[in-house]
Amino acid sequence: MPLGLFLAGVSISAGLTRRIPRWLMWFGLILAVIGELSWFSMVVPAALFLIPLTRFPAFVWLIAAGFLLPKSASGSAATDGDQVLATNARMHEERATADVR
């Protein structure tokens, strides 16, 4: 069950921000649904096949996602951080020149 939640979270967040291809996002979501349904194996022993049906393809999904995710964050988060650093540097310079006067 935790693997299903992990797959769903990464698939949705990375897929909607277009950091992974759509097919990988949908594959992860399908695996997540099967993983969440695997808890039925505690009630119905016939549902035990859902556990390996999730587990082994999920390893393949994790490897694919690891290769396809970008190595660094690019976009709004990185530029926002750069803007904050530039603003802090300007404020520091203004304070330094104000102290000299």
Residue ranges in the chain modelled with pLDDT below 70:
72-86, 88, 99-101
List pLDDT tens digits, range 52-62: 999 999 999 99
pLDDT given at position 83: 67
pLDDT given at position 31: 96
pLDDT given at position 89: 72
Q: Are 36 and 5 in contact (CB under 8 A)?
A: yes
DSSP 44-97: -GGGGGHHHHHHHHHHHHHHHHHHHS-SS--SHHHHHHHHHHHHHHHHHHHHHH
pLDDT given at position 71: 76
The pTM for the full model equals: 0.68
pLDDT given at position 99: 65
